[in-house]
Amino acid sequence: MTIAIDKLSDPVVRRLVTAINGHDRDAFVELLTADATMADDGSDRDLNEWIDREIFSSGGRMDVQRESDGGRRLVARFRNDTWGEMNTVWRFEVVDGKVKRFETGQA
């Protein structure tokens, strides 16, 4: 069962998922701290390169299935034009209303 984006508990994560699904890179980047970092499948990646390749230039879309940790941990069906659709886990560290770090990987 998919959770409607407007029902996600954490407002920052909710806006981030909205930016992903709306293909709004500017809104996504605005939600990150200046020193934000990320990891994919346990390996740190270049954040800007990764979001361009995996989300914004490849039609990324997230359908959230479950949330926990106050909305800062999501299980989602993620799809993009490169890899197709897969079950993923996302964890967000939010500081002062911005995402400082996120980690994702296959569930």
Helices H / strands E in the chain, number of each: 3, 6
- pLDDT (tens digit, 9 = 90+) per residue, 77-101? 999 999 999 999 999 999 999 999 9
CATH number, position 93: 3.10.450.50
DSSP state of 9: S
| Predicted TM-score of the model (pTM) | 0.95
Report how far apart, in Å, the C-alpha atoms of 47 and of each of 8, 35, 50, 100 are: 24, 10, 5, 11
Residue 1 has pLDDT above 90, yes or no: no
**Contact indicator for 14, 90 with CB cutoff of 8 Å:** no
Range of the domain at 52: 5-106
Rounded to 5°, angle at Cα 82 from 41 and 35: 45
Whole-number mean pLDDT of the chain?
Answer: 97
Instruction: Check: CB of residue 59 under 8 Å from CB of residue 80.
Output: yes
The total number of structural domains that make up the chain = 1
